[in-house]
Amino acid sequence: MLEMKVFRESPEKIFEDLKKRNLPKDIALSVIDLDNKWRKLIEEGNRLRAKRNTISKTIGELKKKGTDFSEVLKKMTNLKNDLVQNEKDTEEALNIRDSKRMLVPNLLESEVPIGKDENGNVELSKKGIINDNKKWLSHQDILEGINGADLKRASKITGRRFYFLTGDLARLELALINFAVEMLCEKGYSLTTPPFLMNREAYEGVVDLSDFEDVMYKIDEHDLYLIATSEHPITARFKNEIIELKEGPLKFAGISTNFRREVGAHGISDRGIWRVHQFSKVEQVILCKPEDSKKMHKEILDNATNIFEKLEIPYRVIDICTGDIGTVAARKFDIEAWMPSTNKWKEVVSASNCKSYQSVRLNMRYRTSEGTDFPHTLNSTAVATTRALAAILENNQTDNGDVIIPKVLRKWMGNQEIIKAK
């Protein structure tokens, strides 16, 4: 959510942005309107409380002297009724203001390409050799061939879009995690295993409200949600705190299993393990001063591209446009891996700079020489295992359906070089 400062001091910035996103400016206008209403009520309430406090003090003094104070006490009755009403109105006004405020999306970086939908996204770079003169098997066919996953029985005991990873492929998943973790730890990221469940209040600080309907699984009797990414608990970790950034940005490598409902997601290319309800992921999370966030955004994107380069998977970097970027990010880059069976680039990484949008909602600040300010939060996939595995299976397949293990992963596979088809 945006700071009230922006609504009060430079609302034109918000209007311009909403225009870029093709959204009406009514929501922002209603926030400004409700804010004025709230401020009037606060002022009124303060006046009433000031009066109450003086009367109360007088009573204390009269009582001490032993003088009768029943006259003064009478004044209090009406005052208290007014105050109760005022407090109710004030709370309601603030709630409505902030529920509207949460609907106003983040301010975009000026470089974000203008576009209606994902067709407006811009390719920034491309790496790797693409060979389309051979017959490529799909990752789901290879999975079957190498006995890498058991989707059928997973659906029997849990449901659609769940899986058992088995044998060498399960081991390859751990290798991917180890590879990404080692790389990030060497760069000073602090490895963090978060809770996999979060309560509603904390969760509201880090996601778009519609995610509660479409993305998160809820544990009903406990006010808990299964996390959709370790970014959520790691960012929310410092809710209502003043963090110390004097020694530079806080860098975390989060590792977790992630749970997603994927409501409304369909498509033939989503078969296999591409789009699933549960997957492991190593995530990068940064908390930094505003002046550092652009540099850090580049760093986490570079880390992610570095991983795919070392895995020798062809990829390209996409600059997400205004129509596709969503509510929270101010700038977002995706990395798409080449999937030869379908001749398509498909998303494997998303790297976002959320600026202060999350920290405002979380009431997380850092100390400056003048006081406190809201830090910027950034997040990026390092490696989401199921998608990276699918990309490896397709790109590293041999003519008879074996899979060559990427060189950088072999040390975690007992130096095994290949996964043989059965």
Partner RNA sequence: GCCGAGGUCGCUUAGCCCGGUAUAGCGCCGGCCUUGAAAGCCGGUGGGAAAUUUCCCUCGGGGGUUCAAAUCCCUCCCUCGGCGCCA
Residues in the interface with RNA (CB under 7 A) total 26
Which is closer to RNA, CB of 53 or CB of 67?
Answer: 53
Task: Say if CB 136 and CB 42 are below 8 A apart.
Answer: no
Q: What distance in Å separates the CA atoms of residue 41 and residue 85, rounded to the nearest whole number?
A: 10
What distances in angstroms separate CA 226 from CA 197, 220, 358, one per listed residue?
5, 11, 19
- DSSP tag of 32: H
| The two three-digit tokens of residue 341, written as one number | 């069976």
Q: Does 289 bind RNA (CB under 7 A)?
A: no
Q: What distance in Å separates the CA atoms of residue 220 and residue 126, rounded to the nearest whole number?
A: 45
Q: What distance in Å separates the CA atoms of residue 279 and residue 140, rounded to the nearest whole number?
A: 16
Contacts of 274 (CB under 8 A, 6+ apart): 139, 346, 386, 387, 390
Which is closer to RNA, CB of 213 or CB of 221?
Answer: 221
Q: Which range touches RNA (CB under 7 A), out of 54-62, 213-221, 300-308, 315-323?
A: 54-62
Q: Does 57 bind RNA (CB under 7 A)?
A: yes
Site string for RNA, 372-391 (x = CB under 7 A): x-------------------
Q: Which range touches RNA (CB under 7 A), out of 55-63, 97-105, 167-175, 260-268?
A: 55-63
Which is closer to RNA, CB of 22 or CB of 199?
Answer: 199
Which is closer to RNA, CB of 65 or CB of 134?
Answer: 65
Q: Does 60 bind RNA (CB under 7 A)?
A: yes
Helices (H), 66-166: 70-101, 139-146, 151-157
Exactly one of 102, 174, 242, 404 binds RNA (CB under 7 A); which one? 242
Which is closer to RNA, CB of 38 or CB of 179?
Answer: 38
Q: Does 37 bind RNA (CB under 7 A)?
A: no
Q: What distance in Å separates the CA atoms of residue 348 and residue 385, rounded to the nearest whole number?
A: 9
Exactly one of 52, 218, 271, 410 binds RNA (CB under 7 A); which one? 52
Q: Does 19 bind RNA (CB under 7 A)?
A: no
Q: What distance in Å separates the CA atoms of residue 28 and residue 12, rounded to the nearest whole number?
A: 10
Q: Does 193 bind RNA (CB under 7 A)?
A: no
Q: Does 214 bind RNA (CB under 7 A)?
A: no
Q: Which range touches RNA (CB under 7 A), out of 44-52, 290-298, 342-350, 377-385?
A: 44-52
CB 239, min distance to RNA, A:
12
Selection from 137, 112, 123, 134 nearest residue 345 by Cα: 123
Which is closer to RNA, CB of 13 or CB of 271?
Answer: 13
Q: Does 32 bind RNA (CB under 7 A)?
A: no
- Residues 122-151 interacting with RNA (rule: CB under 7 A): none
- Residues 69-88 interacting with RNA (rule: CB under 7 A): 73, 76, 80
Q: Does 56 bind RNA (CB under 7 A)?
A: yes
Range 145-168 burial, b when 16+ CB lie within 10 A, else e: bbebbbbeebeeeeeebbbbbeeb
Which is closer to RNA, CB of 83 or CB of 418?
Answer: 83
Phi then psi dihedrals of residue 221, to 5 deg? -75, 0
Q: Does 367 bind RNA (CB under 7 A)?
A: yes
Which is closer to RNA, CB of 27 or CB of 242?
Answer: 242
Q: What distance in Å separates the CA atoms of residue 299 and residue 209, rounded to the nearest whole number?
A: 29
Exactly one of 13, 20, 25, 49 binds RNA (CB under 7 A); which one? 49
Q: Does 414 bind RNA (CB under 7 A)?
A: no
Contacts of 154 (CB under 8 A, 6+ apart): 162, 163, 164
Selection from 400, 390, 394 nearest residue 420 by Cα: 400
CB 98, min distance to RNA, A:
13
Q: What distance in Å separates the CA atoms of residue 159 and residue 324, rounded to the nearest whole number?
A: 30
Q: Does 239 bind RNA (CB under 7 A)?
A: no
Site for RNA, rule CB under 7 A: 4, 39, 42-43, 45-47, 49-50, 52-57, 59-60, 63, 73, 76, 80, 242, 367, 369, 371-372
